[in-house]
């Protein structure tokens, strides 16, 4: 009978710990700001105006 009581107490504590952890995780997830978007760097491509100016500068 004592073993059964100890098992029940341990079971109740385990379930309470899991429930508390789940509630804590849900509460914390609601407080976190959304992650910042990651900027993808693109190579600098010359504009048509840059190409036209560079072409004129090279022509003598």
Interatomic CA distance for residues 19 and 52, integer angstroms: 68
Tens place of pLDDT for every residue, the chain, 60 residues?
A: 888 999 999 999 999 999 999 888 888 777 767 778 877 776 677 777 767 665 555 554
The span from the CA of 22 to the CA of 14, in Å, is: 12
Predicted TM-score of the model (pTM): 0.45
Q: What is the pLDDT of residue 39?
A: 74
Pair of tokens at residue 51: 């190409």
Distances (CA, A) of 52 to 3, 43, 48, 56, 59: 89, 19, 6, 6, 11
Query: What is the rounded CA–CA span in Å between residue 12 and residue 15?
Result: 5
């Amino acid at each position: 009978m004592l073993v059964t009581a100890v098992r029940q107490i341990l079971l109740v504590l385990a379930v309470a710990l899991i429930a508390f952890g789940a509630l804590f995780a849900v509460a914390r997830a609601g407080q976190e700001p959304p992650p910042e978007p990651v900027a993808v760097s693109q190579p600098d491509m010359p504009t048509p105006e840059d190409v036209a100016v560079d072409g004129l500068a090279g022509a003598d």
